[in-house]
Protein backbone atom coordinates (compact mmCIF):
# COMPACT_ATOMS: atom_id res chain seq x y z
CA UNK A 1 0.00 0.00 0.00
CA UNK A 2 1.23 3.56 -0.61
CA UNK A 3 2.85 5.46 2.23
CA UNK A 4 2.65 9.19 2.85
CA UNK A 5 5.66 11.27 3.89
CA UNK A 6 6.18 14.91 4.90
CA UNK A 7 8.89 17.15 3.40
CA UNK A 8 10.92 18.75 6.25
CA UNK A 9 11.60 21.88 4.14
CA UNK A 10 8.36 22.78 2.42
CA UNK A 11 6.01 20.91 4.82
CA UNK A 12 4.03 19.34 1.97
CA UNK A 13 3.08 15.65 1.90
CA UNK A 14 4.26 13.33 -0.81
CA UNK A 15 3.35 9.72 -1.58
CA UNK A 16 5.47 6.68 -2.15
CA UNK A 17 3.80 3.83 -4.11
CA UNK A 18 6.45 1.20 -3.36
CA UNK A 19 5.73 -1.97 -1.37
CA UNK A 20 5.13 -1.22 2.32
CA UNK A 21 3.76 -4.46 3.70
CA UNK A 22 2.52 -4.20 7.21
CA UNK A 23 2.85 -0.44 7.28
CA UNK A 24 -0.08 1.86 7.99
CA UNK A 25 -1.39 4.08 5.21
CA UNK A 26 0.06 7.23 6.80
CA UNK A 27 3.21 6.26 8.64
CA UNK A 28 4.31 9.87 9.18
CA UNK A 29 7.92 9.22 8.27
CA UNK A 30 9.98 12.42 7.86
CA UNK A 31 12.35 12.02 4.99
CA UNK A 32 14.99 14.41 3.64
CA UNK A 33 13.69 16.60 0.80
CA UNK A 34 15.07 15.34 -2.50
CA UNK A 35 15.47 18.92 -3.84
CA UNK A 36 19.01 19.87 -4.75
CA UNK A 37 18.11 23.30 -6.11
CA UNK A 38 17.04 26.62 -4.65
CA UNK A 39 15.55 29.96 -5.71
CA UNK A 40 16.20 33.70 -5.66
CA UNK A 41 13.34 36.12 -5.15
CA UNK A 42 14.12 39.75 -5.94
CA UNK A 43 12.12 42.44 -4.15
CA UNK A 44 12.30 46.06 -5.38
CA UNK A 45 10.87 48.74 -3.07
CA UNK A 46 10.76 52.54 -3.00
CA UNK A 47 11.79 54.89 -0.19
CA UNK A 48 8.51 54.21 1.63
CA UNK A 49 9.04 50.43 1.56
CA UNK A 50 6.31 49.85 -1.02
CA UNK A 51 7.01 47.34 -3.80
CA UNK A 52 7.55 48.80 -7.28
CA UNK A 53 6.22 47.04 -10.36
CA UNK A 54 7.75 46.83 -13.82
CA UNK A 55 11.40 47.11 -12.76
CA UNK A 56 13.75 45.08 -14.94
CA UNK A 57 15.69 42.46 -12.93
CA UNK A 58 18.45 40.04 -13.93
CA UNK A 59 19.76 36.85 -12.36
CA UNK A 60 22.76 35.10 -13.87
CA UNK A 61 22.07 33.89 -17.39
CA UNK A 62 18.32 33.59 -16.82
CA UNK A 63 15.94 35.62 -18.96
CA UNK A 64 15.42 39.12 -17.41
CA UNK A 65 12.13 39.44 -15.55
CA UNK A 66 10.10 42.51 -14.60
CA UNK A 67 8.80 42.81 -11.06
CA UNK A 68 5.14 42.00 -10.46
CA UNK A 69 2.58 44.43 -8.92
CA UNK A 70 3.95 43.60 -5.46
CA UNK A 71 7.54 44.35 -6.46
CA UNK A 72 8.77 40.72 -6.75
CA UNK A 73 10.61 38.84 -9.50
CA UNK A 74 11.07 35.07 -9.12
CA UNK A 75 14.01 32.95 -10.29
CA UNK A 76 13.49 29.29 -9.35
CA UNK A 77 15.12 25.91 -9.92
CA UNK A 78 18.61 27.35 -9.51
CA UNK A 79 21.61 25.16 -8.88
CA UNK A 80 23.69 25.77 -5.75
CA UNK A 81 26.01 28.51 -7.04
CA UNK A 82 26.66 32.24 -6.70
CA UNK A 83 24.49 34.29 -9.05
CA UNK A 84 25.02 37.92 -10.10
CA UNK A 85 21.72 39.67 -9.43
CA UNK A 86 20.91 43.25 -10.48
CA UNK A 87 18.26 45.73 -11.53
CA UNK A 88 18.33 48.06 -14.54
CA UNK A 89 16.16 51.06 -13.80
CA UNK A 90 17.05 52.86 -17.02
CA UNK A 91 15.72 49.91 -19.07
CA UNK A 92 12.57 49.46 -16.99
CA UNK A 93 9.09 50.78 -17.68
CA UNK A 94 9.38 54.43 -18.81
CA UNK A 95 7.13 55.73 -16.03
CA UNK A 96 9.16 53.95 -13.35
CA UNK A 97 12.45 55.19 -14.80
CA UNK A 98 11.18 58.79 -15.00
CA UNK A 99 9.98 58.87 -11.40
CA UNK A 100 12.77 56.96 -9.60
CA UNK A 101 16.54 56.75 -9.25
CA UNK A 102 18.96 54.32 -7.59
CA UNK A 103 20.74 55.66 -4.52
CA UNK A 104 22.29 52.55 -2.98
CA UNK A 105 23.44 49.26 -4.52
CA UNK A 106 21.90 48.00 -7.75
CA UNK A 107 23.68 44.62 -7.90
CA UNK A 108 24.62 41.72 -5.60
CA UNK A 109 26.02 38.21 -5.92
CA UNK A 110 24.15 35.93 -3.49
CA UNK A 111 24.76 32.18 -3.27
CA UNK A 112 21.82 29.83 -3.72
CA UNK A 113 21.44 27.17 -1.02
CA UNK A 114 19.87 23.78 -1.54
CA UNK A 115 16.14 23.78 -0.91
CA UNK A 116 16.06 27.42 0.19
CA UNK A 117 14.73 30.71 -1.16
CA UNK A 118 17.19 33.59 -1.08
CA UNK A 119 15.47 37.00 -0.99
CA UNK A 120 17.40 39.97 -2.38
CA UNK A 121 16.12 43.51 -1.81
CA UNK A 122 16.87 46.61 -3.85
CA UNK A 123 15.64 50.12 -3.06
CA UNK A 124 14.91 52.84 -5.58
CA UNK A 125 14.04 56.37 -4.50
CA UNK A 126 11.37 58.72 -5.81
CA UNK A 127 12.33 62.08 -7.29
CA UNK A 128 11.05 65.38 -5.89
CA UNK A 129 10.01 68.62 -7.61
CA UNK A 130 10.91 72.17 -6.57
CA UNK A 131 8.65 75.10 -7.50
CA UNK A 132 10.05 78.65 -7.55
CA UNK A 133 8.08 81.90 -7.83
CA UNK A 134 9.15 85.55 -8.03
CA UNK A 135 6.65 88.13 -6.71
CA UNK A 136 6.34 91.86 -5.99
CA UNK A 137 6.18 92.84 -2.34
CA UNK A 138 3.52 95.51 -2.91
CA UNK A 139 0.91 93.63 -4.97
CA UNK A 140 2.07 89.99 -4.57
CA UNK A 141 1.74 89.69 -8.34
CA UNK A 142 4.20 87.36 -10.07
CA UNK A 143 7.09 88.93 -11.97
CA UNK A 144 8.15 87.21 -15.18
CA UNK A 145 11.52 86.85 -16.94
CA UNK A 146 13.67 87.00 -13.79
CA UNK A 147 16.52 84.48 -14.06
CA UNK A 148 16.25 81.56 -11.58
CA UNK A 149 19.32 79.43 -10.83
CA UNK A 150 19.04 76.07 -9.02
CA UNK A 151 22.08 73.93 -8.22
CA UNK A 152 22.70 70.68 -6.33
CA UNK A 153 25.56 69.89 -3.98
CA UNK A 154 26.94 67.22 -6.33
CA UNK A 155 27.60 67.21 -10.05
CA UNK A 156 25.39 64.12 -10.36
CA UNK A 157 22.37 65.97 -8.96
CA UNK A 158 20.44 66.52 -12.10
CA UNK A 159 19.47 66.93 -14.77
CA UNK A 160 18.67 70.52 -13.74
CA UNK A 161 17.21 73.36 -15.74
CA UNK A 162 19.70 75.50 -13.84
CA UNK A 163 18.81 78.81 -15.52
CA UNK A 164 15.13 79.39 -16.16
CA UNK A 165 13.11 82.62 -16.43
CA UNK A 166 10.38 83.13 -13.87
CA UNK A 167 6.76 83.11 -15.06
CA UNK A 168 3.90 85.54 -14.44
CA UNK A 169 1.44 82.65 -14.89
CA UNK A 170 2.69 80.32 -12.15
CA UNK A 171 5.75 78.77 -10.51
CA UNK A 172 8.72 77.38 -12.44
CA UNK A 173 9.11 73.65 -11.81
CA UNK A 174 12.54 72.06 -11.38
CA UNK A 175 11.89 68.33 -11.65
CA UNK A 176 13.78 65.08 -11.01
CA UNK A 177 15.53 66.41 -7.90
CA UNK A 178 16.97 63.88 -5.48
CA UNK A 179 15.74 64.05 -1.86
CA UNK A 180 19.09 62.54 -0.90
CA UNK A 181 20.82 65.78 -1.91
CA UNK A 182 20.72 69.49 -0.99
CA UNK A 183 19.75 72.25 -3.43
CA UNK A 184 20.25 76.01 -3.57
CA UNK A 185 18.05 78.50 -5.42
CA UNK A 186 19.01 82.06 -6.40
CA UNK A 187 17.70 84.79 -8.71
CA UNK A 188 19.45 87.45 -10.81
CA UNK A 189 18.09 90.74 -12.14
CA UNK A 190 19.26 91.93 -15.52
CA UNK A 191 20.15 95.55 -16.25
CA UNK A 192 16.59 96.47 -17.18
CA UNK A 193 15.03 94.75 -14.16
CA UNK A 194 17.66 96.23 -11.85
CA UNK A 195 16.25 99.68 -12.58
CA UNK A 196 12.72 98.61 -11.64
CA UNK A 197 13.23 96.30 -8.65
CA UNK A 198 15.41 95.49 -5.68
CA UNK A 199 15.62 91.94 -4.31
CA UNK A 200 13.97 91.85 -0.92
CA UNK A 201 16.18 89.88 1.45
CA UNK A 202 18.90 87.47 0.36
CA UNK A 203 19.81 86.83 -3.27
CA UNK A 204 20.11 83.13 -2.45
CA UNK A 205 17.77 81.05 -0.31
CA UNK A 206 18.98 78.68 2.40
CA UNK A 207 19.82 75.19 1.05
CA UNK A 208 16.84 72.83 1.13
CA UNK A 209 16.02 69.16 0.71
CA UNK A 210 13.03 68.34 -1.44
CA UNK A 211 10.43 65.74 -0.50
CA UNK A 212 8.84 63.40 -3.07
CA UNK A 213 5.49 64.11 -1.45
CA UNK A 214 5.95 67.92 -1.53
CA UNK A 215 5.03 70.68 -1.51
CA UNK A 216 8.51 72.07 -2.14
CA UNK A 217 8.20 75.77 -2.91
CA UNK A 218 10.52 78.79 -2.74
CA UNK A 219 9.31 82.38 -3.10
CA UNK A 220 11.53 85.33 -3.96
CA UNK A 221 10.23 88.86 -3.34
CA UNK A 222 11.09 92.04 -5.23
CA UNK A 223 10.70 95.59 -3.90
CA UNK A 224 9.58 97.95 -6.68
CA UNK A 225 11.76 101.03 -7.22
CA UNK A 226 9.83 104.34 -7.55
CA UNK A 227 10.61 107.73 -9.05
CA UNK A 228 9.19 111.22 -8.69
CA UNK A 229 9.24 114.22 -11.03
CA UNK A 230 8.52 117.81 -10.01
CA UNK A 231 8.24 121.22 -11.70
CA UNK A 232 7.86 124.71 -10.24
CA UNK A 233 5.90 127.19 -12.32
CA UNK A 234 5.34 130.92 -12.24
CA UNK A 235 2.11 131.15 -14.11
CA UNK A 236 2.72 128.73 -16.91
CA UNK A 237 6.45 129.23 -17.09
CA UNK A 238 9.00 127.11 -15.22
CA UNK A 239 11.30 128.91 -12.83
CA UNK A 240 14.58 127.94 -11.20
CA UNK A 241 14.18 126.52 -7.71
CA UNK A 242 15.66 124.18 -5.11
CA UNK A 243 13.25 121.57 -3.74
CA UNK A 244 14.00 119.73 -0.51
CA UNK A 245 12.28 116.31 -0.14
CA UNK A 246 12.30 113.84 2.74
CA UNK A 247 11.53 110.12 2.87
CA UNK A 248 12.19 107.75 5.78
CA UNK A 249 14.31 110.35 7.52
CA UNK A 250 16.53 110.86 4.47
CA UNK A 251 16.58 114.24 2.74
CA UNK A 252 16.92 114.61 -1.01
CA UNK A 253 17.53 117.78 -2.99
CA UNK A 254 16.24 118.65 -6.44
CA UNK A 255 17.74 121.61 -8.25
CA UNK A 256 15.43 122.77 -11.01
CA UNK A 257 16.72 125.12 -13.65
CA UNK A 258 14.70 127.10 -16.12
CA UNK A 259 14.21 124.06 -18.35
CA UNK A 260 11.55 122.63 -16.10
CA UNK A 261 10.99 119.05 -14.90
CA UNK A 262 13.43 117.41 -12.48
CA UNK A 263 13.17 113.99 -10.88
CA UNK A 264 14.49 111.52 -8.34
CA UNK A 265 14.89 107.80 -9.01
CA UNK A 266 15.56 104.66 -6.93
CA UNK A 267 13.02 105.62 -4.28
CA UNK A 268 11.48 103.17 -1.84
CA UNK A 269 7.75 102.74 -1.52
CA UNK A 270 6.22 105.09 1.05
CA UNK A 271 5.30 108.70 1.67
CA UNK A 272 7.60 111.49 0.49
CA UNK A 273 7.35 114.95 2.05
CA UNK A 274 8.19 118.24 0.36
CA UNK A 275 10.07 120.04 3.13
CA UNK A 276 10.86 123.30 1.44
CA UNK A 277 10.86 125.06 -1.92
CA UNK A 278 13.42 127.79 -2.38
CA UNK A 279 13.00 130.20 -5.27
CA UNK A 280 15.91 132.62 -5.57
CA UNK A 281 15.06 136.37 -5.51
CA UNK A 282 15.19 137.73 -9.06
CA UNK A 283 18.03 140.18 -9.58
CA UNK A 284 17.21 143.59 -11.10
CA UNK A 285 19.46 146.12 -12.78
CA UNK A 286 18.55 149.86 -12.29
CA UNK A 287 18.50 151.94 -15.46
CA UNK A 288 18.18 155.75 -15.11
CA UNK A 289 15.37 157.52 -16.86
CA UNK A 290 16.37 160.50 -19.02
CA UNK A 291 13.99 162.91 -20.72
CA UNK A 292 13.87 162.97 -24.48
CA UNK A 293 15.37 165.77 -26.41
120 shares its domain with 137: no
133 shares its domain with 219: yes
User: Do residues 96 and 51 make contact, with C-beta atoms less than 8 angstroms apart?
Assistant: no
115 shares its domain with 141: no
211 shares its domain with 172: yes
Note down the domain range covering 3.
1-34
Q: Is residue 146 part of a domain?
A: yes
Q: Is residue 49 part of a domain?
A: yes
User: Which of 10-19, 153-162, 284-293 has the least mean pLDDT?
Assistant: 284-293
CA gap 92, 57 in Å, rounded = 9
Predicted TM-score (pTM) of this structure: 0.67
pLDDT in tens, 17-65: 555 454 444 444 444 555 689 999 999 999 999 999 999 999 999 999 9
User: What average pLDDT does this structure show over 262-267?
Assistant: 70
137 shares its domain with 219: yes
Domain total of the chain: 4
Q: Is residue 283 part of a domain?
A: no
231 shares its domain with 220: no
Q: Is residue 162 part of a domain?
A: yes
**What CATH number should be reported for the domain holding residue 81?**
2.60.40.10
pLDDT in tens, 165-204: 999 999 999 988 999 889 989 999 999 998 889 998 766 6
User: What average pLDDT does this structure show over 9-19?
Assistant: 57
Strands 117-126 and 38-45: parallel
Residue 242: strand pairing partners: 255, 278
122 shares its domain with 205: no
Q: Is residue 284 part of a domain?
A: no
Q: Look at 73 and 104; give whichever has higher pLDDT.
A: 73
Amino acid sequence: MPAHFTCPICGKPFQCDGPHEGASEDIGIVKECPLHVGAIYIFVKDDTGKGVAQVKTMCGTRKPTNTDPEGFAFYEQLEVNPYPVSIELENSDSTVAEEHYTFVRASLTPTVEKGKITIVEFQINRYGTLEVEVKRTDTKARVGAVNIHVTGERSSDGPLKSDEPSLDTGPVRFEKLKPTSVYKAAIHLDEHQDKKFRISGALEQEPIRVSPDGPNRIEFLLDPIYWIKLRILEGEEPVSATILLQQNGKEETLAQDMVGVQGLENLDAGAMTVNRIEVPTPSYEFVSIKPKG
